[in-house]
């Protein structure tokens, strides 16, 4: 199937209280793991790229392997650019065939965030590309964006309503207490605020910083309006651990294709598990 944007898949998810997994890929092998996991689970899926990964491989290389893998897939699939502050890179991804982008101007003052996010929506709409925008500051490290705990602040519900009414994003990422990377201690999620923002903005919510949350927290966030769940750090671990574990168990073998296959299986198993947890299995 050709790639599609996130709009229909997130609206379906929000209306049916499940979430679509957005998995950050690193290379061809991890993309293949996302695509095959989604097919096996018969789930809609979002292939997500960090800005860093796009810069590392180049947009042309990524779009070619994504299109090749998705062509034979039978489930709805979007290609989404995660946290991006650079309008030129956003434009490049839109022109290269990404079907969805995130503008992260959350470190800017409110009015500036609003203006930049609106500009990206205007850039994306004519190309049928969906847009995710962020409000508030999500703690942790995502790509080269470092947010210290003392700088993190939750999205304000009144500002969230104004922001969504003016920007009209297809997906909204308000900071509600989750963190990027690995949690230090127990996450304090502002469920009341999440529920209020989801109900009042009526925009499908993206849950960032999913790695390390326990199953019950995912389920609660999804029941309160999170229709997209981002999984990045978990895949970074599976990518390295899958590789290392195979080599440690067969340390005289030096057969790279077997190592790559072991890495693929480790990634795919973790992705299927999350798809089932988010309730999107069987929803393609
Ligand atoms: Zn994020």
What are the DSSP calls for 34-93, one per residue? HHHHHHHHT--EEEEE-HHHHHHH-HHHHHHHHHHHHHT--S-EEEEEEEE--HHHHHHH
143: number of CA atoms within 13 Å, CB side?
20
Res. 87: pLDDT tops 80: yes
pLDDT at 214: 92
Model pLDDT, residue 84: 97
Residue 184 C-alpha to ligand 1 middle, in angstroms?
Answer: 17
Q: What are the C-alpha distances in Å from 139 to residues 99, 183, 195, 241?
A: 27, 10, 20, 25
Ligand 1 centre to CA of 248 (Å) is 32
Tell whether pTM > 0.85. Answer: yes
Separation of CA 84 and ligand 1 centre (Å): 10
Residue 267: the pLDDT is 98
Per-residue pLDDT, 146: 66
CB contact at 8 A, 113 and 136? no
Please, which pLDDT band fits residue 124 given cuts at 50, 70 and 90? very high
User: What residues have a C-beta under 5 A from ligand 1, the ion?
Assistant: 142, 208
Give me the percent of the chain exceeding a pLDDT of 70: 96
Distance CA 50, CA 33 (A): 17
């Amino acid at each position: 199937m050709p790639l599609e944007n996130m709009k229909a898949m997130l609206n379906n998810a929000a209306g049916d209280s499940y979430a679509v997994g957005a998995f950050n890929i690193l290379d061809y092998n991890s993309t293949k793991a996302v695509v095959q996991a989604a097919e096996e689970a018969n789930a809609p899926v979002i292939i997500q790229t960090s800005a860093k990964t796009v810069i590392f491989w180049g947009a042309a290389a990524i779009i070619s392997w994504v299109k090749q893998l998705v062509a034979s897939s039978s489930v709805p699939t979007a290609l989404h650019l995660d946290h991006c502050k650079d309008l030129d890179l956003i434009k490049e991804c839109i022109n290269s065939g990404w079907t969805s982008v995130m503008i992260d101007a959350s470190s800017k003052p409110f009015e500036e965030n609003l203006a930049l996010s609106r500009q990206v929506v205007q850039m994306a709409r004519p190309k049928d590309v969906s847009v995710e925008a962020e409000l508030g500051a999500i703690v942790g490290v995502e790509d080269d964006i470092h947010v210290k705990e003392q700088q993190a602040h939750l999205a304000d519900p009144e500002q969230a309503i104004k922001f969504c009414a003016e920007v009209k994003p297809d997906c909204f990422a308000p900071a509600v207490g989750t963190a990027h990377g690995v949690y230090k201690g127990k996450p304090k999620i502002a469920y009341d605020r999440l529920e209020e923002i989801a109900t009042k903005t009526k925009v499908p919510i993206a849950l960032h910083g999913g790695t390390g949350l326990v199953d019950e927290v995912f389920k609660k966030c999804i029941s309160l309006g999170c229709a997209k769940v981002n999984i990045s750090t978990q895949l970074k671990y599976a990518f390295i651990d899958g590789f290392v574990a195979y080599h440690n168990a067969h340390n005289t073998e030096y057969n790279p294709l077997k190592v790559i296959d072991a890495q693929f299986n480790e990634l795919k198993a973790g992705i299927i598990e999350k798809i089932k947890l988010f309730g999107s299995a069987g929803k393609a």
